[in-house]
Amino acid sequence: MSLKKILIFWSFCFVFLLSFATAQADDASSVQKVIDETYVQPEYIMGYSLSEEQKTQTLNLLGYNAEKDTKVKTLNTSSYAKIMNVADDPSLQLYSSVKIQKLGSNETLNVKIETPNNITKVTQDMYRNAAVTLGIQHAKITVAAPIAVTGESALAGIYYSLEENGATVSDESKGLAQEELNTLSGINAENKGKKGYDADKLNVALTDIKSAVADKGEKLSETEARKIVESTLKNYGLDRSMSKSQISLIVNFAIKLSKSEVIHTKGFKSSLSSLKNSIISKAQSTFKGLNIHFDANKALESGKGILTKIWQWLVNSIKGLFS
């Protein structure tokens, strides 16, 4: 094969891969695009199990304005089953409700729980972490429930609203966001009151983990994923308060995240950075004396053997000769 044909072949491959990567990023960002175009007026997704009185109460908690707000929908059990890919169970109780509204592109993702005493399992920052994994970069999300519930169905309400408005939310993205929410809320519940554990630290640790995973992408190995997770948890003093099984749950999530499209979204890492900064800002004393600029990927580099480092030095030196 002539040099010209070789160059044409590899140029074609490069253009194809670039187009594929761009298509992936565009698909992942379609969630935010739909929010920007559709949610100028807020949309309310109400839990199916609410009585009329509870529905009115919850709408008021969410800031409903009858004079101008017209977008009110109900998440029923069949829609929930379809979204969550589970069997339809009419006895399922859906009480937590959510409001979604567009924010300006320069504003960060905002989540507020209007009834914190009634959302027993999920915190605002857990919702925010899961929303970023879903591909939401900037929006205002408000959650409320008239009675004590876990709050997990509110995330399903977000999926439902997005899909009803034309967003492409893949089963992979929904599964990841739900797994993340379940993992964080489960770990938080199991470790509540345990010495050395703190929910704010775990949420910040997860932003660092997800950012490091985004840097590695699909090349991330299981060994590297575990190194990222363990070194990050250690940095925030969580390694001794969390069990091996809890750590493994986060490792498994990191591996799945590395293969997802959302990490290629342009605003993914900046959204994580904004979330991290806001958590640290509101809980400054919690992070006193900790390295809040921790880079998990540097931990990977430091863990490499001498032969690997020599090989990398040779590769970089050769690259330098042709640059």
- Give 43-64 as a DSSP string: EEEEETT--HHHHHHHHHHTT-
Q: How far apart are CA 62 and CA 58, in angstroms?
A: 6
Question: Which pLDDT score is estimated for 28?
Answer: 44
Question: Which pLDDT score is estimated for 72?
Answer: 97
Question: Which pLDDT score is estimated for 322?
Answer: 54
pLDDT band at 148 (very low <50, low <70, confident <90, very high): very high
Mean pLDDT of 142-170: 93
- Contacts with 214 (C-beta within 8 Å, 6 or more apart), sequence order: 263, 268, 269, 272
Q: How far apart are CA 232 and CA 292, in angstroms?
A: 10
Question: Which pLDDT score is estimated for 168?
Answer: 86
Question: Which pLDDT score is estimated for 277?
Answer: 95
Tens digits of residue pLDDT in 56-68? 999 999 999 999 9
Q: What is the mean pLDDT of the chain?
A: 86
Q: Is the pLDDT of residue 7 over 70?
A: no
Q: What is the phi/psi pair of residue 256, to 5°?
A: -65, -40
Mean pLDDT of 251-278: 93
CA count, 13 A, side-chain hemisphere, 138: 14
Mean pLDDT of 2-7: 48
Mean pLDDT of 193-204: 95
Tens digits of residue pLDDT in 229-249? 999 999 999 999 999 999 999
Tens digits of residue pLDDT in 288-306? 999 999 988 886 776 555 5
pLDDT band at 17 (very low <50, low <70, confident <90, very high): very low
- Contacts with 208 (C-beta within 8 Å, 6 or more apart), sequence order: 232, 235, 276, 294, 295, 296
3-state secondary structure 78-132: HHHHHHHCCCCCCCCCCCCEEEEEECCCCCCCEEEECCCCCECCCCHHHHHHHHH
Least confident piece of the model among 145-149, 228-232, 266-270: 266-270
- Contacts with 140 (C-beta within 8 Å, 6 or more apart), sequence order: 42, 99, 100, 101, 102, 103, 110, 112
Pairing of strands 97-102, 139-144: antiparallel
Tens digits of residue pLDDT in 75-100? 999 999 888 878 888 888 999 999 99
Question: Which pLDDT score is estimated for 205?
Answer: 97
CA 198 to chain centre: 19
Q: Is the pLDDT of residue 115 over 70?
A: yes
Q: How far apart are CA 15 and CA 10, in angstroms?
A: 9
pLDDT band at 258 (very low <50, low <70, confident <90, very high): very high
CA count, 13 A, side-chain hemisphere, 145: 23
State how far the alpha carbon of 253 is from the alpha carbons of 69, 169, 174, in Å.
38, 18, 13
Question: Which pLDDT score is estimated for 302?
Answer: 63
Question: Which pLDDT score is estimated for 310?
Answer: 58
Q: Is the pLDDT of residue 24 over 80?
A: no
Q: How far apart are CA 229 and CA 254, in angstroms?
A: 8
Q: Is the pLDDT of residue 29 over 80?
A: no
Q: Is the pLDDT of residue 18 over 70?
A: no
Contact (Cβ atoms closer than 8 angstroms) between residue 261 and residue 188:
no
- Decide which of 241 and 21 is more confident: 241
Token pair 């205002």 is at which residue? 140
Token pair 């591996």 is at which residue? 255
CA count, 13 A, side-chain hemisphere, 265: 27
